[in-house]
Structure 1
Amino acid sequence: MTRTARTVHPIEEESYRRLRARVGTAHLPPLTRAVVERVIHSSADLAYAGDLVCDEASLAAAHAALHAGAPVVADVEMVAAGITARRAVCRLRDAVAAPGLTRSAAAVRLAYEEVGDGAVWVVGCAPTALTELIALGAAPALVVGLPVGFVGAAESKAALRASGLPAVSNVSEKGGSAVAAAVLNALLYAPPPTGTHPAATAGP
């Protein structure tokens, strides 16, 4: 599968110019920089430069997997709609809550049955979707874990980082569908990294 080609609008070019004038990203390795900048661009929130946690090696592996055709799974339709260059699997409409199992968690189980290991998961809404994915013992290519909220969001992202799964997350309670989709779009649009850059982690 070839890299997604796109035409960049002049307004987007100017937005990135202003973004880079206000926050330093030039020191970041290429895929980490692409992710951090697109999240900031999508949210107009410069604080993400210090809040996101990215690992370049994990991003490189996910980039290769995506461009080899790895499936993409979204926790909610809003995330799926924001992924502009790839159809994402979302099973929320088919899911049914049960005692001790939220509808979002049930949707993760259905999606995992469909795609199996090796997928890229994009969670931007429900902390329980993220905790269920961790509990399943899945082996994803990457988990974009950016659920938003004051109940369980920061804790689920901390659990993701502690799980050892390849991931992009953030430390605070903020997140959401737009920023989660932005991470995936950044990987779809980015060219393959060339040369060697010191492995780096962005964020705390």
Structure 2
Amino acid sequence: MTPPSPRTVHPIEEESYRILRSRLDTSHLPPLTRAVVERVIHSSADLAYADDLVTDEDALRGAHAALHAGAPVVADVEMVAAGITRRRAVCRLPDASGGPGLTRSAHAVRLAWEEVGPGAVWVVGCAPTALFELLDLGVEPALVIGLPVGFVGAAESKEALRASGLPAVSNVSEKGGSAVAAAALNALLYTPSDTPPPAAAQSPVTAKEIL
């Protein structure tokens, strides 16, 4: 696989990160956790994600290696797919019809699973039902970025993701959405493949607990 060309960072983005780091010290976070936390905050202008996100550096490292080796990426909705800027994402929502007891988003996950099989990175930023279906299917992912938004089922689906033991990025609250889910994935794609390893393994924690 041909490595991506170096990414050009716009001055507005540089200034956004400067402001972010002036308001929140992320310097003690492991490298990939820091990349994900900062890009999610950059995409949302919401510093509270530092307390809300739940990450695991070992899981991120495995997903980072898989992505840079060409692992497929699956998005639950087209808005998430459109926000992923350095990789074409599989999104089967346009082909999904749903059915009794099955939302279109859940059906789209079934179709995507049939297409990509194990080892993919799944990015759920809209539909809690997509995340629940992913867990029910027993997929074998490189990573699940589970950041759906909403008052119905969003927090519960993310709690179920954490309880599943799958390698994951999630957050505790009801907030989330397509932009932050895509941002978390982009953070891994933008980080060079020669990122140094962390000093020690890390259990799943909130970013605030690391700080």
> Structure 1 length as normaliser, TM-score?
0.97
User: Conserved in 2, the CA contact under 8 Å of 1:158 and 1:171?
Assistant: yes
Equivalent position amino acid for 2:100 in 1: P
Aligned length: 204
Name the amino acid aligned to 1:137.
G
* SS of residue in 2 equivalent to 1:96: coil
Partner of 1:146: 147
C-alpha offsets along residues 80-120 of structure 1, whole Å, 9 cap, x if unaligned?
A: 00000100000001001111111100000000000000000
Q: Distance in 1 between matches of 2:171 and 2:158?
A: 7
The answer on whether the counterparts of 1:32 and 1:202 sit within 8 Å (CA) in structure 2 is no
| Corresponding position of 2:85 | 84
Residue 107, structure 1, aligned to residue 108, structure 2:
yes
> Cα RMSD between the aligned structures?
1.1
SS at match of 2:189: helix
Q: Tell me if structure 1 keeps the 8 A contact 2:80–2:181.
A: yes
Identify the residue that residue 57 of structure 1 maps to in structure 2: 58
**SS of residue in 1 equivalent to 2:173:** coil
CA contact (8 A) 2:120 2:141 kept: yes
Per-residue CA deviation, residues 131-185 of structure 1 (Å, 9 max, x unaligned), is: 0000001100000000000000000000000001000000000000000000010
Gaps of 5+ in 2: none
With over 3 angstroms needed to count, the CA separation of the structure-2 counterparts of 1:16 and 1:132, relative to structure 1, is same
Could you tell me how far 1:197 is from its partner in structure 2? Answer: 2.3
- Contact 1:146–1:169 at 8 Å: present in 2 too? yes
2:12 aligns to what?
Answer: 11
Q: 1:174 to 1:112 in 2, by over 3 A?
A: same
Residue 198 of structure 1: aligned partner = 200
Q: Structure 2: how far apart are the matches of 1:103 and 1:188?
A: 28
Paired AA for residue 176 in structure 1: G
Q: Kindly indicate whether the alpha-carbon contact (under 8 Å) linking 2:31 and 2:198 is maintained by their aligned counterparts in 1.
A: no
Secondary structure class of the residue paired with 2:101:
coil
In the aligned structure 1, how far is the partner of 2:24 from the partner of 2:168?
23
For the Cα contact (< 8 Å) 1:19–1:41, is it kept in 2? yes
Contact map agreement 1:4 1:188 (CA 8 A) in 2:
no
Counterpart AA for 1:182: A
| Secondary structure in structure 1 of the residue aligned to 2:54 | strand
| Aligned twin of 2:99 | 98
Residue of structure 1 in register with 2:180 after alignment: 179
Partner deviation per Cα, 1:24-69 (whole Å, 9 max, x = no partner): 1111000000000000000000000010000000000000000000
